[in-house]
Amino acid sequence: MNQAEFARRRKQLMEQMGRGAIAILPAAPLRLRNRDTEYPYRPDSDFYYLTGFPEPEAVAVLIPGHAHGEYILFSRERDPEKEVWNGARAGQEGACRDYGADDAFPIDDLDDILPGLLEKCERVYCVMGAQPEFDQHLIGWVNQIRARSRAGLRAPEEFIALDQVLHEMRLFKSRAEIALMKKAARISAGAHKRAMRACKPGMMEYQIEAELRHEFMRQGSQAPAYNSIVAGGANACVLHYTGNRAPLKDGDLLLIDAGAELDNYASDITRTFPVNGRFSAGQRAVYEIVLEAQYAALAKVKPGNHWNDPHQAAVRVLTKGLIELGLLKGALPKLIKEQAYRRFYMHRTGHWLGMDVHDVGDYKIGDAWRVLEPGMVLTVEPGLYIAPGTSGAPKKWWGIGVRIEDDVHVTPRGHEILSADAPKTVAEIESLMAH
């Protein structure tokens, strides 16, 4: 992502804010993993979306029309001694030179400078609740101005959720974003293929996770976009299973939900395949239903359709399939209406995808489902899960859990599957695993 793209985003946001407004965004804090060792640093998505600034301990301020600079960045000062230990810092010079700030100050001067900027503004755009400690600071600065009201100072009167405007922007991906997401999805698809090739009965789930991670990192991904799910057999029926410590058994299926993050953009792919490389008749029957449901849902991803259309299409095929398997009994419309499928399909068919794996953006506008538009990216991920002990389900189905998930970009004429490189038909999977 080049600097021009970040500058364009700031400009777009400031145009919507208008004069008299100020937006304040803190960087994500470093978090301790144990004692004095930190988790790998991952910037806050909103902050990074507007700045491209990769360091912690920073605050971005946007003031449309501000004579002394519309974009002000507070960040750590250069410190040769600390930089020997933890690497280079941009410092204030770098903030302006490399990251497009109009003006830059040391983060330690925030308390001195920010009240002065706030007092010139009527409306404050901020993200409340994500960083309570920062919210306290903001309230403190505003109170400082209020305390001086007799000296003629006026505190801002309106506080506006920055999320509304910003997340609407983030929902629509630019060409550069789509290119990056496609790259992330390709890396993930490669990792799923690697896992299929490596998988043998007797291996441990974590050994397959190692294959995924190896491929992610080898291709330049900085981290998994979320905790990888590597779920053998009945573990696939635990939707957020991330233990990944069990052995993989001959005759079981393996469900892998894993996606690479690349430059802070996520991919999110699920594939389900037989541990020994060949689907049993029963596994195949369930798998084909889920695949047909996914195709039906994908066909609904196009401009003009609404958010819920793919889900409804998937639910219809899944319910019909459950009747055919003998797992549901009754008339199709009635079973759909009563949501009888929810015993076997308890999640929705997708979510927005972007910098965050469950990305920002409204799913409804007022009471109505959102209409799909070009530039949106979503997942399509139907599944069926027959947990051991499911009442009314014959034992032969127990422990079969299948999900198939792709990343889909809405285009002017329909859609583009970003994760298309990951095999998903029975024939494709069995052929890849046979070699």
Whether residue 108 lies in the annotated active site: no
Distance CA(329)–CA(340), nearest Å, equals 9
Q: Would you give the binding string for Mn ion spanning residues 385-414, x where CB under 5 A is met?
A: --------------------x---------
Helices (H), 158-271: 162-171, 175-198, 205-218
Whether residue 435 lies in the annotated active site: no
Based on CB atoms, which residue is closest to Mn ion, 13 or 231? 231
Among 206, 226, 369, 398, binds ligand GLY (CB under 6 A): 226
Based on CB atoms, which residue is closest to ligand GLY, 313 or 380? 380
* 416: enclosing H helix or E strand: strand 414-417
Q: What is the CA radius of gyration of the chain?
A: 25
Binds 186: which of ligand GLY, Mn ion, none (CB < 5-8 Å by kind): none
Based on CB atoms, which residue is closest to ligand GLY, 215 or 268? 268
> What count of Cα atoms within 13 Å lies in the side-chain half-sphere of residue 54?
13
- Active-site pick, 211, 268, 359, 407: 268
Distances (CA, A) of 304 to 10, 168, 173, 348, 371: 29, 18, 17, 20, 6
Whether residue 324 lies in the annotated active site: no
Site for ligand GLY in 257-276 (CB under 6 A): 257, 268
Task: Provide, rounded to whole angstroms, the least separation between the CB of residue 225 and Mn ion.
Answer: 9
- Residue located via tokens 């506008």: 365
335 in Cβ contact with 341 (< 8 Å) = yes
- Active-site pick, 186, 351, 409, 415: 351
Whether residue 36 lies in the annotated active site: yes
**32: Cβ contacts below 8 Å, ≥ 6 apart:** 38, 39
Based on CB atoms, which residue is closest to Mn ion, 148 or 370? 370
Whether residue 137 lies in the annotated active site: no
Whether residue 39 lies in the annotated active site: no
Q: Is 406 in the site for ligand GLY (CB under 6 A)?
A: no
Q: Is 356 in the site for ligand GLY (CB under 6 A)?
A: no
Q: Would you give the binding string for Mn ion spanning residues 258-297, x where CB under 5 A is met?
A: ----------x-x---------------------------
Whether residue 358 lies in the annotated active site: yes
Distances (CA, A) of 2 to 10, 240, 264, 269, 311: 13, 35, 14, 27, 36
Paired sense of beta strands 368-369 and 364-365, if any: antiparallel
Number of residues located near ligand GLY, criterion CB under 6 A = 7
Helices (H), 199-308: 205-218, 281-299
- Active-site pick, 403, 407, 409, 415: 403
Q: Which pair of structure tokens corresponds to residue 275? A: 């541990």
- Active-site pick, 257, 261, 309, 407: 257
Whether residue 157 lies in the annotated active site: no
Q: Is 379 in the site for Mn ion (CB under 5 A)?
A: yes
- Active-site pick, 48, 49, 265, 385: 385
Helices (H), 21-131: 45-51, 80-86, 91-99, 110-118
Near Mn ion by CB under 5 A, which window of 25-33, 241-249, 252-260, 334-342? 252-260
Cα-Cα-Cα-Cα dihedral sign, residues 347, 351, 357, 361: negative
Binds 226: which of ligand GLY, Mn ion, none (CB < 5-8 Å by kind): ligand GLY
Phi-psi region of 392 (alpha: psi -120 to 50; beta: other; left: phi over 0): left
- Neighbouring CB atoms inside 10 A of 65's CB total 11
- Active-site pick, 381, 406, 407, 409: 381
Catalytic residues: 36, 240, 257, 268, 347, 351, 358, 381, 385, 403, 405
- Site residues (CB under 6 A) for ligand GLY? 226, 257, 268, 351, 357, 381, 405
Residues that bind Mn ion (CB under 5 A): 257, 268, 270, 379, 405
